[in-house]
C-alpha cells in the first residue's frame, strides 16, 4: 500500500497539473523563474475562490531600522469601525505572514485568502510585506516581521486591539517566520504573542533528501526548497551554523513559547519537520494542537478549497482564531 492523494484533492488538482504538464520546472537556484511561474499560479488559484465583500482594507507604512519602507495591510470587517476607539472594546488581532519559500509571494497576492479569514472569523489581521531573499537574506525577513509585531502593539489602542490577544499566523515560509518571530519575541522579552498558528510551516533547511512517497505529489518540491533556503541562508544552508531564528527546527529549547496550532499534509515535503517541531514544542511544555491531513500535499487548501479536507482545516483555523 502506498500513499496517494485524497480523491477530492486529486480531482481539483487535475486541471492544474494538466496545464503544467508541458512547463519545464525551473532548475535549482533559479529564483526569478520560480517567481514568474508561482506568483502567477498563486494569483490564479486565489481568484477561483469567492471574494469577501465585507472586509475593508487600510494600508500603513513602517520604516525599519535600516530605513526600508514596508507595507502593512490592515484587514477588518466592514461592520467594525475603529475610528472612535473610545466606543470600541479592544479585541484580538492576528499578524499574518504570507508564504512563498522566502523568495516569492506578497501581501497583495494574498488579499483574497486573508480577507476570507477575516470575514469568517470577525478578527482583524495585519499582513506584513516582509522583504524577500536573495535580495534580502536572513535576518532581514525575520526582523521585518518583528518590526511589524512591534508596530501592531504600539498602535493597538488606535486599532482597538488588546495587546494581550495578538497571534501570529503564516503558511509555508510565512509559518516558518511566525515560528521564528515567536522565538525572537521570547528571547527579547516581548512584544507578547498569544498564539502561533503554523500552517504547513517551512522550518528546516536540511529538508533536501527526496522522500519517494511524496515526490510524485510535491507542490513545493525538494528543488524549490533547496533554492529557497540557499537564497535565504547562502552557503550556510544545511550546515552546522544555522540559528533557530533562521530555521526554527534548529531550536533546542522551546520553553516559554506561545501555544501553537500546527497543521501539515501527509504528502507535504514539510511533514516530518513539522511533526518533529510539534514534538519539540510539546517537550518544552508548550500546548500544541496538531493536525496531519491524509492525502494532502502542500497548499492543498487553496487548490482544492471545496474538498472536505480543506473545509475541515478552514473550520479549525477559524475556531482557533476566534478563541483568541
Look-up of cell digits 483574497: 112
Q: How far is CA 41 from CA 118, 130, 223, in A?
A: 23, 20, 18
pTM of the model: 0.96
Per-residue pLDDT of the chain (324 residues; tens, 9 = 90+): 689 999 999 999 888 777 666 778 899 999 999 999 999 999 988 888 988 999 999 999 999 999 999 999 999 998 765 555 567 899 999 999 999 999 999 999 999 999 999 999 999 999 999 999 999 999 999 999 999 999 999 999 999 999 999 999 999 999 999 999 999 999 999 999 999 999 999 999 999 999 999 999 999 999 999 999 999 999 999 999 999 999 999 999 999 999 999 999 999 999 999 999 999 999 999 999 999 999 999 999 998 999 999 999 999 999 999 999
Q: Which residues are catalytic?
A: 172, 268, 298
Report whether 147 contacts 70 (CB < 8 A): yes
**Calpha distance 255→153 (Å, rounded):** 23
Pairing of strands 260-265, 195-199: parallel
Q: Which domains does the chain have, with CATH numbers?
A: 7-322 (3.40.50.1820)
Report whether 205 contacts 283 (CB < 8 A): no
Helix (H) or strand (E) holding 76: strand 69-77
Amino acid at each position: 500500500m502506498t500513499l496517494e492523494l485524497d480523491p477530492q484533492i486529486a480531482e481539483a488538482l487535475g486541471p492544474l497539473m494538466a496545464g503544467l504538464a508541458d512547463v519545464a520546472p525551473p532548475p535549482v537556484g533559479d529564483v526569478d523563474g520560480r517567481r514568474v511561474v508561482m506568483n502567477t499560479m498563486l494569483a490564479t488559484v486565489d481568484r477561483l475562490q469567492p471574494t469577501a465583500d465585507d472586509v475593508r482594507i487600510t494600508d500603513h507604512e513602517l520604516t525599519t531600522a535600516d530605513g526600508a519602507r514596508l507595507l502593512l495591510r490592515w484587514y477588518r470587517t466592514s461592520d467594525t469601525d475603529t475610528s472612535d476607539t473610545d466606543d470600541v472594546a479592544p479585541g484580538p488581532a492576528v499578524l499574518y505572514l504570507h508564504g512563498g519559500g522566502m523568495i516569492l509571494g506578497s501581501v497583495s497576492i494574498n488579499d483574497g485568502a486573508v480577507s476570507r479569514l477575516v470575514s469568517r472569523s470577525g478578527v482583524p489581521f495585519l499582513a506584513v510585506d516582509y522583504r524577500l531573499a536573495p535580495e534580502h537574506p536572513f535576518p532581514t525577513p525575520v526582523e521585518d516581521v518583528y518590526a511589524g509585531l512591534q508596530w501592531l502593539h504600539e498602535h493597538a489602542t488606535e486599532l482597538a486591539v488588546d495587546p494581550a490577544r495578538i497571534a501570529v499566523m503564516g503558511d509555508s515560509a510565512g509559518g516558518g517566520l511566525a515560528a521564528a518571530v515567536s522565538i525572537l519575541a521570547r528571547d527579547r522579552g516581548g512584544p507578547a504573542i498569544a498564539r502561533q498558528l503554523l500552517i504547513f510551516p517551512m522550518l528546516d533547511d536540511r529538508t533536501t533528501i527526496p522522500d519517494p512517497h511524496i515526490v510524485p505529489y510535491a507542490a513545493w518540491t525538494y528543488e524549490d526548497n533547496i533554492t529557497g533556503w540557499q537564497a535565504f541562508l547562502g552557503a550556510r544552508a544545511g550546515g552546522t551554523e544555522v540559528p533557530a531564528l533562521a530555521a526554527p527546527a534548529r531550536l533546542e529549547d522551546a520553553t516559554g513559547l506561545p501555544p501553537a496550532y500546527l497543521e501539515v499534509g501527509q504528502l507535504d515535503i514539510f511533514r516530518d519537520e513539522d511533526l518533529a517541531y510539534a514534538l519539540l514544542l510539546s517537550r518544552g511544555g508548550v500546548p500544541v494542537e496538531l493536525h496531519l491531513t491524509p492525502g494532502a500535499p502542500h497548499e492543498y487548501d487553496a487548490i482544492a478549497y471545496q474538498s472536505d479536507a480543506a473545509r475541515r482545516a478552514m473550520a479549525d483555523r477559524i475556531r482557533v482564531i476566534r478563541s483568541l
